[in-house]
Amino acid sequence: KKRDKDNLKEIIGEHPVITFMSESKELNTEYSKNNGDLNIYFGNTRGYNELKGKDLFVIGTPHINPIVYYFHAEYMGIDTNKIDKKMEYQTIQWRGLQFKFQTLNNPDLRNIQLPLIDGELTQAIGRARTIRTEAKVRVFSNFPLEITDIFDFG
Name the residue with higher pLDDT: 82 or 150. Answer: 82
Q: Is the predicted pLDDT of residue 1 greater than 80, yes or no?
A: no
Residue 87: which of 60, 105, 114, 100 has the closest Cα? 105
Q: Within a 13 Å sphere around the CA of 98, how many CA atoms are in the beta-carbon half?
A: 1
40-88 pLDDT, tens digit each: 999 999 989 999 999 999 999 999 899 999 999 999 999 988 888 899 9
Average pLDDT over residues 1-13: 79
Q: Is the predicted pLDDT of residue 154 greater than 70, yes or no?
A: no
CA dist., res. 129 & res. 106, Å (int): 35
93-103 pLDDT, tens digit each: 998 888 999 99
Q: Is the predicted pLDDT of residue 149 greater than 80, yes or no?
A: no
Dihedral of alpha carbons 73, 79, 84, 86, sign: positive
* pTM exceeds 0.85: yes
CA dist., res. 54 & res. 50, Å (int): 9
CA dist., res. 38 & res. 50, Å (int): 9
CA dist., res. 68 & res. 83, Å (int): 15
Q: Is the predicted pLDDT of residue 35 greater than 80, yes or no?
A: yes
CA dist., res. 26 & res. 47, Å (int): 23
CA dist., res. 9 & res. 28, Å (int): 9
Q: Is the predicted pLDDT of residue 125 greater than 80, yes or no?
A: yes
pLDDT (0 to 100) of residue 151: 59
**Contact yes or no for 123/62 (Cβ under 8 A):** no
